[in-house]
Amino acid sequence: MQANTVKSRTRKTRRSTDTGKGKPRTFSAPASAPLVPECDRPTPGHYTAQAIDHAFKANLARLTLGISPAGLATSYFNWFSHLALSPGKHMELVEKAARKAARIMIHAGTAGMNAEAPPCIEPLPQDRRFSGEAWKQWPFNMISQSFLLTQQWWHNATTEIDGLSKEDEHAVSFMARQMLDRYAPSNMLWANPEALKATAAQGGANLMRGAMHMADDWQRTIAGKKPSGADAFQVGRDVGVTPGKVIYRNHLIELIQYEPTTKQVFREPVLIVPAWIMKYYILDLSPHNSLVKYLVEQGHTVFMISWRNPTSEDRDLGMDDYRELGVMDALDAVSAIIPDTQVHAVGYCLGGTLLSIAAAAMARDGDDRLKSISTFATQVDFTEAGELMLFIRESEVAYLENMMWDQGVLDGYQMAGAFQMLRTNDLVWSRMVHDYMLGERQEMNDLMAWNADLTRMPYRMHSEYLRSLFLDNDLASGRFTVGERPINLADIRAPIFAVGTVKDHVAPWRSVHKITFHPATDVTFLLTSGGHNAGIVSEPGHPRRSYQVATKKAGERYIDPDTWMAEAPSKDGSWWPEWQAWLAGQSTEDAALPAMGAPDKGYAPLCDAPGTYVLQQ
């Protein structure tokens, strides 16, 4: 522990002289760079042209939600040209179209004679648009069945084309699905039997309410206000209410230490690193589903990082600033308040990726302050990052960088738009039908209110994140550098507990599972029901929750995700007790209650939780 004390003292000296703001980097050509002929050197006109391109693309990106038209056009051209050169595929598509036409005609005759006739095509399990009884009545059964057959045909038309890259195939298939979902019969008043029934029964009152809802939503969006009903969940009053103190603050974080509720606590404290793409209080929602409150009640001393919501002035904050001012400064504070003991580090989503980077750098440098590492919905290998990769190709990243270059940050609404495109049926079109056609407001809950509490991301950090991790996969490949030296996840020796969620569209569980073949340590992988957020907020007593869990010991053979799912035992209920039992097993004897902060070491309580940064808009 003496070496760690020296490290902390060195870092504290750096922190005391730091202004707290990210320092812009300057780049220059190396001294040995070859001379450029004068005729080929950039002219003032060259830089003017670049500025014009940046400004034009930045403004265009605001209209297209950061999606590059050039990237889409390239994918569509590649699809069309490869399809044009595939006569066998033409024959197959013509045959499939004829067979589907015959199926719908036969079904029409069968359904006309027997109202209980089974459908000729079933929707996908996650597609609930046509599940109501009204969709089984003529002519709406024929409309929905025709749409599903058309959707299936377009899937065939955009996949398995000889010579077409998987990236272009996924992009074209995704956009075709988006267009079909936009014009689905469930979104049309005249073709939606449930909306027509409500309109007839209420004399159009539902449409009047829907118009009012639409106008209210539009006004809130233009004014930058939260959605209707979100004001019922105020941070510090309704959510984020677990008692605690902010015991440290720098330009990027506030560190919260929560008050104990037990007479004794486990010796090792827990430090949680949430993602800065979201507000921290998803892990401290209402008292009944707060992970922080649950841990405190089990006898853990809990610290939480609360990230600052950056502005355009923070444009030059990079990934290493988030590691230094975030994880490392917080770890220094925890080590000062509870000295001579190791720390259980926990990371959620992007926070887990940053924690993994910090842990690998610490392992490389001989810093052994981490007792264990837990990651929730976290990716460290981005080769299979799911449909999110459709927005993170070179064309898209360069286009997005122009928008961020102009603004200095990526705005939360722009980020939310990209995530909504991954689940348009659930997040866009179903809401339009429910709120605007049926005229019914969906009741707001704490998780939905949190999801609407948007944050921003600095230009430099987000660009580095997209390029180094998503595009180049540097972390998993051993090329990611910290302190101008590469780090390797295989250097980590602290045991790892990784959680993935079955329906995660942001960090697909098979991608999260890749943590099992990187570090040379024990890795416990747990797969829980639910999605990226709801699967993590899974308190004991939550209905319809289940999970699978298994541990891979250091040195054991790798098990692929599908085999793992087939072999790992299943359990009913919340995964929280399983993880807490693992944490307790990694902890030592009970200890006396720690003091709140350490004023004599520069960590005096500054204010009550939830602090000030979480309230920034």
212: tokens are 């009012």
Please tell me the distance from the alpha carbon of residue 461 to that of residue 400, in angstroms, as a whole number. 13
CA-based nearest residue to 496, from 399, 370, 591: 370
Q: Residue 94: what pLDDT? A: 96
Tell me what pLDDT residue 416 has. 66
**Helix pair angle (205-223, 193-202), 10° resolution:** 110
The secondary structure element, H or E, covering residue 346 is: strand 343-348
CB atoms within 10 A of CB 203: 9
Q: Of 220, 181, 167, give the one whose Cα is nearest residue 444.
A: 220
Residue 303: its H or E element: strand 302-307
Distance of alpha carbon 596 from alpha carbon 303, whole angstroms = 11
As given in the structure block, the two tokens for residue 504 are: 């995660």
Q: For residue 85, what are the CA distances in angstroms to 88, 97, 159, 551?
A: 9, 19, 14, 49
Give every residue of the chain whose pLDDT is below 50, as ranges. Answer: 1-34, 36
Name residues whose C-beta falls within 8 Å of residue 328's C-beta, 6 or more positions apart in sequence.
11, 358
211-227 per-position pLDDT tens digit: 999 999 898 888 878 88
The C-alpha atoms of residue 164 and residue 199 are separated, in whole angstroms, by: 47
Stated length of the chain? 617
Provide the phi-psi class of 158: left if phi over 0, else alpha when psi is between -120 and 50, else beta: alpha
Instruction: State how far the Cα of 437 lies from the Cα of 410, in Å rounded to an integer.
Output: 33
Measuring CA to CA, which residue among 345, 313, 314 is closest to residue 328?
345
Q: What pLDDT shows up at residue 60?
A: 61
Place of tokens 């510090």: 236
Q: Which one is catalytic: 39, 120, 349, 607?
A: 349
- Read off the tokens for 189: 């008043």
What per-residue confidence (pLDDT) applies to 4?
A: 43
Q: Report the distance separating Cα 84 and Cα 210, nearest Å.
A: 45
pLDDT given for residue 21 in this prediction: 37
- Alpha helices per DSSP H over 85-139: 87-113
pTM: 0.86
Pairwise CA distance, residues 583 & 599, whole Å: 29
Quick one: three-class SS letters along 475-488? HHHCCCEECCEECC
Residue 371 host element (H or E): strand 370-376
Backbone angles phi, psi at 290, to 5 degrees: -90, 120
User: Catalytic site residue 349?
Assistant: yes
Give the residue among 426, 430, 428, 434 at the shortest CA–CA distance from 195.
434
**Secondary structure string (H, E, C) spanning 296-344:** HHCCCCEEEEEECCCCHHHCCCCHHHHHHHHHHHHHHHHHHHCCCCCEE
Q: Any bridge partners for residue 590, and if so which? A: 266
Residue 506: φ, ψ to 5°: -95, -50
Tokens of 165: 């890259």
* Contact residues for 197 (Cβ-Cβ < 8 A; gap 6+): 134
> With the CA atoms of 489, 520, 272 and 11 taken in that order, what torsion angle do they form, in degrees rounded to the nearest 10?
-60
Is the domain covering 244-383+473-615 a CATH 3.40.630.30 domain?
no
Question: Could you give the CA distance from residue 272 to residue 256 in angstroms, rounded to a whole number?
Answer: 10
Distance (Å, whole) CA 95 – CA 101:
10
How far is C-alpha 538 from the geometric centre of its chain's CA atoms?
A: 17
- What is the CB neighbour count within 10 angstroms for residue 548? 20
Q: What integer pLDDT is reported at residue 126 of this predicted model?
A: 81
- Strand blocks (E) in 156-280: 244-249, 253-258, 265-266, 270-273
Strand (E) or helix (H) holding 217:
helix 205-223
- Residue boundaries of the structural domains of the chain: 244-383+473-615
- State pLDDT tens for residues 140-169: 999 999 999 999 999 999 999 999 988 888
pLDDT at 17: 35
The pLDDT value recorded for residue 64 is 62
300 and 279 Cβ atoms separated by less than 8 Å: no
Cβ–Cβ < 8 Å for 372, 460: no
Q: Which of 230, 234, 235, 231 lies closest to 609 in space, CA to CA?
A: 235
Give the E-state strand segments of 463-605 in sequence order. Answer: 481-482, 485-486, 496-501, 523-528, 546-552, 570-572, 590-591
